[in-house]
Structure 1
Amino acid sequence: MIAFTIYNEVRGNRYRTLEEVNEMKKMLLVYVVLIAAFALYVLRFEYTSRVNSSWENRGLRGDLGETYMMITFQSGLEYWKSPLKGFEDAADALGVTVEYRGATRYDAKEQTTVIEQAIARKPAGIAISAIDPKSLIPAINKAVEADIPVILFDSDAPGSQAYSFLGTDNYKAGVTAADKMAELLGREGEVGVLTSPGQQNHEERTKGFRETIQQRYPLMHVVEVADGHGDTLKSRDETLRMMKAHPKLAGIFVTEATGGAGAGEAVQNAGNAQKLHIITFDTNKATLDLIKNGTISATIAQGTWNMGYWSLQYLFHLHHHLTVPAPSSSGENAPLPVTVDTGISVVTRSNVDDYYAK
């Protein structure tokens, strides 16, 4: 009887021990679930805090999945290398991806097609140099209405919905060219202009040059404004024609680099028959070489790297809603400066070596 009682007590203790173990397992499972839930909460809080934290704390960094596009015309021109380099440098700084596209020819319809194709890709933003200030407006506006920020650089399209234009103050550049031409000619003589009619930036350069000659230098006269078609051979032929039509022609202002090379070739072909001072635009190697050998007297260097770099910075800020509207030059609030002058400098034989690519 005593043995039976002891056995039952031992077996009872055993049953209670198994029940306690099962209870402990249940409690352990509850603890694991609670700890996991807490860990998930902490991780989510950390992620949310990081996403919502200020850009100042985590830096201006995007995502490689963010693609920004640069679109130009005559895509093979050496001129575009510098703004594209600025665009790419900004992409490296911001941690985003960039692509370059362009019309292969001097053709507004082709550039419109390129913009339409870009819109279909839905990039984070597009930087455009507009070949024609009017015909591209519908395509530019279509991009903005599709919630794709657009910044214009180098060549503007006034009246479009693009947020900002970054480029040379082309009228002021024309003024600078006129002052330099007056210096070269001793403030007297006949001069001509070779340009690309219909393109906003070239028209402004021409206007600044002509009005400055007229207003400041009474002994100087602009005898002709001709179309170089943005082509070396046509610009050469037009320069030769102008030299023949105006035997006293002493200077020519060429509003773009390709035409400048053509004008330089014309002067070389003419030999010493007629001395002609040439002032052109931009700093491609051909132009710099012609300055170095004395064929071209000067060129106007633009802040092309700045155009590309700040275009992408502006697009990035628009895409991430980091802008703060402020009064613009039009008097209305705008998320970015409406117009930004990226600056110019005058390159002559005395400083030409500073402008060769290092």
Structure 2
Amino acid sequence: MKKMLLAGIAIAMMATPAFAQTYKFVIVPKAMNNPFFDVARDGCLKRAKELGNVECIYKGPVEHEPATQAQIIQDFITQKVDGLAISVADVAAMTKSIDAATAAGIPVITFDADAPGSKRIAYIGTNNKDFGLALGRQLLQLKPEGGKYAVVSGGPGAKNLAERVDGVREALKGSKWVEVAGSPTFCNDDPALAVQQMADLRTATPDLGAIVPVGGWPMFAPEGYKAFVNKNKKDIEAGKLTLVVADTLKMQLELLRDGYSNALTGQRPFEMGEKAMDTLLAIKKGQKVPEVIYTGLDLVTRDNVAQLLK
């Protein structure tokens, strides 16, 4: 009887399909109060459901706090999850966290923001230098006569944002655009602070000709952002103030359609979430993955915004 029971167990094990093993993959954003990362989460959840043997766990700091992000990652290392996809808030802090996870046998990839000097296996997201170049070129195309401009950035320790700022500057180098003192400002991914910084920049330089946020933060506080634009509407309509903003979330496309910005340059966070699950699963299966996976950009003006809203 015992032999028959053991034989039955063996047959059951042989009959279990290989994909029955399930994996817990974690996507760790810079901040959970940033709607950009909500879109990456949605892509992650959709792809995990399609794969069937993957669970997508989404957790990060409520606000942009690199120390909290590091602690969250340490907690997941302790839990021995099967893989981590991290948007790097601070390169120095995250390099330590990524290397600690790798030492614990947990594969790590980055998305949206990278830490290339760490032991991460791959980066998924935007070519951030190209992103900045695209923002700068949009401004140059809209207003080739130039003027004074300022940049609003997020966290000072985020490599992806530094690359975007460099790209904006490179695109405008040699043109008639001049960056004002105090630019870039750093809002630490806080939407309300980003709006306030735009207002402060305009107050400090009344003839400021353009503001270029290298992330969508000010638009993520739509009421405050609209109030800022309404206050400066005459100058915007007269071409004296141009707003070229990063990202193309639905709320941003609606604001552009309604005349609250001149142009948007968009990333593809939904694809970042999807590809994060595919890449971590491939790594767990022992497959070789590309070290860099770019997800592309979308250039949006009032001419094509209706098409994207469809």
Q: Report the TM-score range of the alignment, normalised by the length of the smaller protein.
A: 0.7 to 0.9
1:348 aligns with 2:301: yes
The answer to whether the 8 A contact 1:133-1:199 is kept is yes
Aligned counterpart, 1:272? 234
CA distance in 2: counterparts of 1:247 and 1:76, whole angstroms? 31
User: 1:284, CA displacement in angstroms?
Assistant: 2.7
Aligned counterpart, 1:294? 259
CA distance in 1: counterparts of 2:113 and 2:8, whole angstroms? 52
User: Paired residue for 2:47, among 85, 90, 114?
Assistant: 90
Aligned counterpart, 2:277? 312
User: 1:138, CA displacement in angstroms?
Assistant: 1.2
Q: Quick one: which amino acid aligns to residue 97 of structure 2?
A: A
1:208 aligns with 2:167: yes
CA distance in 1: counterparts of 2:20 and 2:82, whole angstroms? 11
User: Paired residue for 1:282, among 218, 236, 247?
Assistant: 247
CA distance in 2: counterparts of 1:309 and 1:62, whole angstroms? 20
User: Paired residue for 1:251, among 206, 210, 230?
Assistant: 210
CA distance in 1: counterparts of 2:10 and 2:26, whole angstroms? 38
CA distance in 1: counterparts of 2:49 and 2:110, whole angstroms? 21
CA distance in 2: counterparts of 1:82 and 1:121, whole angstroms? 26
Aligned counterpart, 1:12? none
When residues 62 and 157 of structure 1 are mapped into structure 2, their CA distance, relative to the original with a 3 A threshold, is farther
Q: Quick one: which amino acid aligns to residue 205 of structure 1?
A: R
CA RMSD of aligned residues (A): 2.6
CA distance in 2: counterparts of 1:129 and 1:314, whole angstroms? 15
Aligned to 1:111, what secondary structure does the other structure show?
A: helix
User: 1:308, CA displacement in angstroms?
Assistant: 0.9
Q: Quick one: which amino acid aligns to residue 229 of structure 2?
A: V
Q: Quick one: which amino acid aligns to residue 49 of structure 2?
A: D
Aligned counterpart, 1:122? 80
1:112 aligns with 2:77: no
The answer to whether the 8 A contact 1:226-1:238 is kept is no
Give aligned-pair identity as a percent: 26
User: 1:135, CA displacement in angstroms?
Assistant: 1.0
Aligned counterpart, 2:103? 145
> Deviation per CA, 1:75-111, whole angstroms, max 9, x where unpaired?
1321112211221122122212121111111101111
Aligned counterpart, 1:69? 26
When residues 33 and 338 of structure 1 are mapped into structure 2, their CA distance, relative to the original with a 3 A threshold, is closer
User: Paired residue for 2:123, among 165, 179, 199?
Assistant: 165
The answer to whether the 8 A contact 1:123-1:148 is kept is yes
Aligned counterpart, 1:180? 138
User: 1:136, CA displacement in angstroms?
Assistant: 1.3
The answer to whether the 8 A contact 1:213-1:222 is kept is no
User: 1:139, CA displacement in angstroms?
Assistant: 1.2
The answer to whether the 8 A contact 1:73-1:103 is kept is yes
Aligned counterpart, 1:8? none
The answer to whether the 8 A contact 2:40-2:273 is kept is yes
User: 1:285, CA displacement in angstroms?
Assistant: 3.6
User: 1:209, CA displacement in angstroms?
Assistant: 0.5
User: 1:316, CA displacement in angstroms?
Assistant: 0.7
When residues 203 and 264 of structure 1 are mapped into structure 2, their CA distance, relative to the original with a 3 A threshold, is farther
State which drifts further: 194-203 or 236-245.
Answer: 236-245
CA distance in 2: counterparts of 1:132 and 1:188, whole angstroms? 33
CA distance in 2: counterparts of 1:142 and 1:232, whole angstroms? 32
- Number of aligned residue pairs: 299
* Superposition TM-score, scaled by structure 2 size: 0.87
Structure 1 or 2, whichever has the larger Rg, is 1
CA distance in 1: counterparts of 2:281 and 2:20, whole angstroms? 8
1:337 aligns with 2:295: no
Structure 2: any 5+ residue segments left out of the alignment?
none
Aligned counterpart, 1:331? none
Aligned counterpart, 1:235? 194
When residues 62 and 179 of structure 1 are mapped into structure 2, their CA distance, relative to the original with a 3 A threshold, is farther
State which drifts further: 112-121 or 182-191.
Answer: 182-191
State which drifts further: 78-87 or 274-283.
Answer: 274-283
CA distance in 1: counterparts of 2:157 and 2:80, whole angstroms? 30
CA distance in 2: counterparts of 1:243 and 1:279, whole angstroms? 15
Aligned to 1:135, what secondary structure does the other structure show?
A: helix
